[in-house]
């Protein structure tokens, strides 16, 4: 990846695009293998159209040391066996901080340091801060798409295996009366 000049970047909320744009990513249900509590319900959703769960559009700022890339994630509303739709979640292998700014919708930021979990409610205007060493997952807790801007160190890297191995401490389910937080155990 090559360095880029100073620039402004526009987000078109209706189209969900950045201009100028960098890589974009679409994660379907099949990309979230091993992450939902109910693996049979997950497999049924994959078989039944494999819906898009979230997409990530990035600016052209490269993911290299000392650069400061940005991306906008949009998570669709939905549940799988009651578990709210979410990102895969990851740890930054080179423990570094990151911020999210909620743009639209209603979400939550689940963080886990291997021992403790923390939850930040995300509504438009909220900045969520992830300190170095806290794995993070985003969850749509509303009934419309949830979009947020991420700004992160270009050399941070993304470790998805960490979450598969350690979990996220808690899961977030849609309860009859709001959110239900349950321990991250299988079954």
Binding site for ligand S6P (CB under 6 A): 56, 71, 73, 87-90, 98, 136, 138, 150, 152, 158
Smallest distance, Å, CB 131 to Zn ion? 12
Alpha helices (runs of H) in 31-185, residue ranges in sequence order: 39-47, 161-166
Binding partner of residue 73 among Zn ion, ligand S6P, none, CB cut-off 5 to 8 Å per kind: ligand S6P
Tokens 């979410």 belong to residue: 86
- Cβ-based neighbours of 108, under 8 Å, separated by 6 or more: 119, 120, 121, 122, 138, 139, 141, 172, 179
| Closest of 119, 53, 133, 50 to residue 90, by C-alpha | 133
**Interface map 69-98 toward Zn ion (x if CB under 5 A):** -----------------------------x
Binding partner of residue 138 among ligand S6P, Zn ion, none, CB cut-off 5 to 8 Å per kind: ligand S6P
Smallest distance, Å, CB 38 to Zn ion? 26
Report the residue number, 138 or 187, with the smaller CB distance to ligand S6P: 138
Smallest distance, Å, CB 39 to Zn ion? 25
Residue whose CB is nearest to Zn ion in the complex, by number: 98
Report the residue number, 68 or 182, with the smaller CB distance to ligand S6P: 68
Q: In what order do the strands lie in the sheet containing 178-183?
A: 79-80, 83-84, 170-175, 178-183
Angstrom distances, CA of residue 108 to CA of 118, 129, 136, 159, 173: 10, 12, 10, 20, 12
What does the binding site for Zn ion look like in residue numbers (CB under 5 A)?
98
């Amino acid at each position: 990846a090559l360095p880029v000049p100073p620039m402004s970047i526009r987000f078109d909320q209706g189209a969900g695009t950045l201009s100028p744009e960098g890589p974009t990513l679409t994660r379907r249900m099949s990309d979230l293998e091993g992450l939902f509590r109910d693996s049979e319900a997950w497999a049924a959703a994959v078989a039944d159209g494999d819906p898009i769960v979230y997409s990530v559009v990035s600016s052209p700022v490269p993911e290299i040391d000392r650069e400061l890339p940005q991306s906008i994630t949009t998570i669709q509303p939905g549940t799988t066996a009651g578990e709210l739709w979410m990102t895969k979640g990851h740890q930054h292998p080179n423990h570094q901080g990151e911020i999210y700014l909620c743009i639209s919708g209603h979400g939550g930021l689940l963080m886990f340091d291997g021992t403790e979990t923390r939850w930040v409610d995300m509504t438009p205007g909220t900045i969520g801060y992830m300190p170095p060493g806290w794995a993070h997952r985003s969850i749509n807790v509303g009934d419309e798409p949830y979009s947020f801007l991420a700004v992160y160190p270009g050399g941070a890297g993304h470790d998805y295996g960490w979450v598969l191995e350690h979990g996220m401490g808690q899961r977030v389910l849609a309860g009859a009366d709001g959110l239900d937080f349950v321990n991250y155990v299988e079954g």
